[in-house]
Each structure stands twice: as C-alpha cells, then as structure tokens.
Amino acid sequence: MHKEDIIIPDAPLRSGQMGYAVLNLQIVLDHILKAKGRKNLVKLEPAHFGPHTEKELRRFQDKYQLFVNGQYTPLTRLRIKEVLNADRNL
C-alpha cells in the first residue's frame, strides 16, 4: 500500500466502534507504527476498535506528544496528517 492510498478517518472514534472508519484508522496506525514483532491490527481486529487498536492508538499518542486517552480525536487526526505529510516530504 502506498502512502497516497491511505484514508485518514474524519469522525472521532473510540473503543467498541466498528466499520470502515475504524479499518482506515487501523491501516494508518499499522503504517505509521511499523515495528518488529508488532501484530497487524487489520488481521487482529478487522474494522473493530478493540483493545489492540486502542493500545496502538495510545502508543501513537504517546510517541507524538498527544494527550494519551486511546480515543481518535480531531487533534489525533491532525497529528496523523502531519506525520504522514512529513514522511512524504522525505
């Protein structure tokens, strides 16, 4: 998957939700937080915002100096866009 193909969800999301927006969030997190030994969120919790997705979202929020609450907020969305744009400019 190319960075250009990534869709950043618009709506706020939190644990327990399901759907395409959650799937897109999982794809974004998998792309940004690549690390050895990490399990693929899309395979673990396809389109379901469960404990693995929340853990990875918290990991992102911590790594990028956001308030760590495990919820996908407008501020988290903005930081994801900044990270992806910075990555594209390399």
Global pTM reads: 0.89
Q: Which stretch of 11-20, 23-32, 36-45, 76-85 has the lowest confidence by average pLDDT?
A: 36-45
For residue 35, the model assigns a pLDDT of 66
Q: Is the pLDDT of residue 84 over 70?
A: yes
Residues 54-76 have pLDDT tens digits of: 999 999 999 999 999 999 999 99
Q: 9 near 72, Cβ under 8 Å?
A: yes
Residues 12-26 have pLDDT tens digits of: 999 999 999 999 999
CA–CA separation, 24 and 27 (whole Å): 5
What Å distances lie between residue 47 and 30, 83, 85, 89, 90, CA to CA?
13, 22, 24, 29, 30
